[in-house]
Structure 1
Amino acid sequence: MARAKQAKKFAQVKRVLNLRDSRIQGKGRDLSKKRKQKKKGKDQSVNMTQRNLPQASTALYFRYNTQLGPPYHVLIDTNFINFSIKNKVDIIQGMMDCLYAKCIPYITDCVLAELEKLGSKYRVALRIARDARFERLPCLHKGTYADDCIVQRVMQHKCYIVATCDKDLKRRIRKIPGVPIMYLQQHRYSIERMPDAYGAPKT
């Protein structure tokens, strides 16, 4: 048997009441006017937009950060100390081998507080962090979350290199221009985003 041909259905459009329809009450008509007024206001605001860009640091006047130079100031994160112990790397000696210059490691109060919270498992890391060769940086903010503290410090002062193995913190610091990142790779320290001007190791 031959099939009966069906008529093709074209795009069906929803039937919408016209705004001038007599069945719509006065409130509905007022709403339509308000919508038109809002649209007009949006169009005007688009033309009058202001761009507020963050002011770039004067240290980044040239292509590299001019505040970076020996002796290097290295901000240390909690997990960097732990990974250094696991890989049996002396922190200060490893930094000097990486940068070929004197390095001053800095530890914030937040990092020390995090190590204290971790308990007896990390007592060796805590003992290393309390070493006299490590400079202490006092924290004035609330809480003991080290990542936020390090990011704020690095944004304010462009003289630091951040030593961390945390992927999230690395991602956050990569968004800040002119801040190198030190990390562990193949049982030794390596550095990322270091300018060639100061003889950084080629990795």
Structure 2
Amino acid sequence: MRGKRAKKYRKLMHQYEIQFSFREPYQVLLDSAILQETAQKKIDLVGRLKGVLGGEVKPMITQCDMRHLYNAKPKDEQLILQAKTYERRRCGHHELEEPLSSLECISQCVDPKGSGTNKHRYVVATQDPKIRAALRKIPGVPLVYVSKSVVILEPMAQATEEQREREERAKFKMGLKGRRGGADANQKRKRDDEDEGAQEHGTESIAAESGGDARPQKKKRVKGPKGPNPLSVRKPKKRQADGPREGEAVKPKPAKTNETRQPDENATAASAAEGEELGKRKRKRKHKPKGDGGAAPEEDADTS
């Protein structure tokens, strides 16, 4: 079996599993026509069914179809022995003188009450096109047949597709009702209230024991403009007390030239000269009188 067809069959059986609760081993209801076809073409029917359905199978045959194999001309003893190894589906028609046709027998086995449901979740493998046409009207019946030595699984019938869509819409509506406040939402709200009540009771008991209010205060969230990401903001550089900032170039001090030094030296020399002149004082020297002439004494200049 090719990969694309096998993938298609896996998806199809997965849909039957989800919507109609099919499970392994799949109960495959066989009719006498498909057994004769596979025996004539030497096809391992059970092995092919495992590959097509993607799992273990349980082949079954009705009592009426078993009687059809006995009444077939020419009679195939080997095929009868092979059919005896399959599980016998008791259709309740064994008391009749003549067996019912495969169409009537299989239709009654699949839908015994005529309610339009595949109660026992049968997969029907038949070579009769009339049987397949009748079973397409019943939702959830996978149909298998043989075409040119190839075992084929039919796609979903229109009745099956319509029921699947109805169930999907019903699930969607139930989900919307639950969101609006259905039974599940009420139960969840009730559980939350019970949890809050138990938590408050525990805090009150702790407060009574400690003599104070032990309720945790919720921190108020201040709404406002959000700042920049702190990881993307550049950190400010610290200024050094004794030296320049990091990355700042050290400026050299300007050197003193002779022109700037000369007025300073002249100023100091002038100030020193003024100090010496202030420190010098003129003084008069008085001489003693000589003789009786009464001449006035001469003033000698102070030579210093």
**TM-score normalised by L of structure 2:** 0.40
Structure 2 residues without counterparts, runs of 5 or longer: 1-15, 113-118, 161-304
Tell me the equivalent position of 2:41. 87
Q: Does 1:180 align with 2:142?
A: yes
- Alignment partner, residue 63 of structure 2: 109
User: Is 1:152–2:134 an aligned residue pair?
Assistant: no
Q: 3-state SS of the aligned residue for 1:110? A: helix
Aligned to 1:166: 128
Offset of 1:63 from its aligned partner?
10
Shift of 1:158: 4.2
Q: Does the CA-based 8 Å contact 2:22-2:121 persist in structure 1?
A: yes
Query: In the alignment, which residue of structure 1 is the partner of 2:154?
Result: 192
Q: Aligned pair in 2 of structure 1 residues 63, 130: CA closer, same or farther (>3 Å)?
A: closer
Task: Rate the CA distance shift 1:179–1:136 in 2: closer, same or farther, 3 A.
Answer: same
- Residues 185 and 121 of structure 1: is their aligned pair in 2 closer, same or farther, counting only changes over 3 Å? same
More helix per residue: 2
Distance, in Å, in 1 between the alignment partners of 2:18 and 2:137 is: 15
- Give the drift of 1:193: 3.4
| C-alpha distance in 1 between matches for 2:131 and 2:78 | 23
Is the CA contact 2:121–2:140 (under 8 Å) kept in the aligned structure 1?
Answer: no
Farther-moved stretch of structure 1 (143-152 vs 108-117): 143-152
The structure, 1 or 2, with the larger RCO (C-alpha pairs under 8 Å, 6+ apart) is 1
Query: How many Å apart are 1:65 and its aligned residue?
Result: 4.3
Name the counterpart of 2:88. Answer: 136
User: How far does residue 64 in structure 1 lie from its aligned partner after superposition?
Assistant: 6.2
* Matched position secondary structure for 1:140: coil
SS at match of 1:85: helix
Find out whether 1:122 has 2:76 as its counterpart.
yes
Q: Distance in 2 between matches of 1:75 and 1:176?
A: 15
Number of the residue aligned with 2:20:
66
2:282 paired residue number: none
Per-residue CA deviation, residues 25-80 of structure 1 (Å, 9 max, x unaligned), is xxxxxxxxxxxxxxxxxxxxxxxxxxxxxxxxxxxxx9964232221100000101
Kindly tell me: are residues 123 and 167 of structure 1, through their superposed partners in 2, closer, same or farther at Cα, counting changes over 3 Å? same
Q: SS in structure 1 opposite 2:20?
A: coil
What is the total number of aligned residue pairs between the two structures? 134
CA deviations on 1:71-97 (whole Å, 9 max, x unpaired) are 110000010101111221112111111
Q: Secondary structure at the match of 1:86?
A: helix
Amino acid at match of 1:135: E
More strand by share: 1
Q: Distance in 2 between matches of 1:121 and 1:136?
A: 20
**Aligned residue identity for 1:75:** L
Question: Could you say what secondary structure the match of 1:121 adopts?
Answer: coil
Partners of 1:73 and 1:105 within 8 A in 2: yes
- Aligned-partner residue type, residue 144 of structure 1: P
- Cα RMSD of the aligned pairs, angstroms, is 2.6
Shift in CA distance, 120/63, structure 1 to aligned 2, threshold 3 Å = closer
Unaligned runs of 5+ in 1: 1-61, 196-203
Identical counterparts, % of pairs: 29
Q: TM-score, normalised by structure 1?
A: 0.59
2:70 and 2:26 map into 1 onto residues whose CA distance is: 27
CA distance in 1, matches of 2:29, 2:17: 22
Does structure 2 retain, via aligned residues, the 8 Å contact 1:154–1:160? yes
Larger Rg: 1 or 2?
2
